[in-house]
A and B are shown apart, each in its own frame.
Chain A
Amino acid sequence: MSEAVKFRFDVDGSDFSSAGAASVMVKKKLRQLGYPPEIIRKVSIAMYEGEINMVIHANGGTAEVEVYDDVIIITLSDTGPGIPDVALAMQEGYSTARENIRTLGFGAGMGLPNMKKYTDSMEIDTRIGEGTTITMKVYL
């Protein structure tokens, strides 16, 4: 495995209008690096869902993307409230988002299942009151 290319972003939880900006940047970088469009699409959709989640559910955090020859690893860490029941949160349609989030176009309870769908592996490490770290891998 050769030297990884790494990107790191602070995701601002106080400003919804910038939510998703890190994913747009990662998508651009991966295009510049010449990765296949299908791979880029998987990585960017999964990261975008996670990035939006950090903003609407966890008051922001950090996003890291490590790019290797054979795998892309996305790590999203926040110090938000944690997820009390991960199995429940993973169900399509389960959402704790309020009406104000729905008027912004989110909160259908589809993000986490979508992240799982678009990645080859996904791990959720969450502690109530401490935060959540989600690690996703997409193999090339």
Chain B
Amino acid sequence: MKISEISKLLDAQILTGEDASDREITSACCSDMMSDVLAYVKDQGMLLTGLVNSQVIRTANMMDMHCIVFVRSKNPTEEMLELAQECGIVVMRSSLRAYVACGKLWMAGLTQDTEDCDV
């Protein structure tokens, strides 16, 4: 699924990285614990989270992810967005709760590879 389609589906606003919104995402994960993302995630291209700090961006960078969705209208700071831009990560914000956002993505077919991931 393209990042642009994901943003539509989640009614999410892309905050940085708009120009990369053609990129395909084939799998995702959702967590507020960066420890768990680092330990259990394998090749998930996208992270949904309700945690807002610079370590969310850095963790996604370490895991070679392409996209971060902040749920529940959480607002990243300018500094976080700049960091994401440097790392080539698309950041979007959705007003949906994590549970609903994940449910929508799953229903829309974003289910590939998720059996490899424990988060």
Interface residues, chain A, with chain B CB atoms under 8 Å away: 16-21, 23-24, 27, 37, 41, 44-45, 48-49, 52, 92, 102, 104-111, 113-114
Contacts and interface: CB of A to CB of B under 8 A. Distances in A.
B62 A52 contact: no
Contacts of A109: 35
Given A48-B59, A48-B62, A107-B35, 17 more contacts: A16-B53, A17-B53, A19-B54, A20-B62, A23-B58, A24-B61, A24-B62, A24-B83, A41-B64, A48-B38, A48-B58, A92-B39, A102-B33, A106-B34, A110-B38, A111-B35, A111-B38
A44 B58 CA distance: 10
Contacts, number: 72
Interface residues of B, number: 22
B38 A114 contact: yes
A104 B35 contact: no
Interface in B60-81: 61-64, 79
Interface of B: 32-36, 38-39, 51, 53-56, 58-59, 61-64, 79, 83, 86-87
Contacts of A113: 39
B39 A23 contact: no
Given A110-B35, A110-B38, A110-B39, A105 B56 contact: yes
| SS class, residues of chain A in contact with chain B | helix
26 contacts: A17-B79, A20-B55, A20-B58, A21-B58, A24-B62, A24-B86, A45-B38, A48-B58, A48-B59, A52-B55, A102-B33, A104-B51, A105-B32, A105-B33, A105-B51, A105-B53, A105-B55, A105-B56, A106-B33, A107-B35, A108-B39, A109-B35, A110-B35, A110-B39, A111-B38, A114-B39
B35 A105 contact: yes
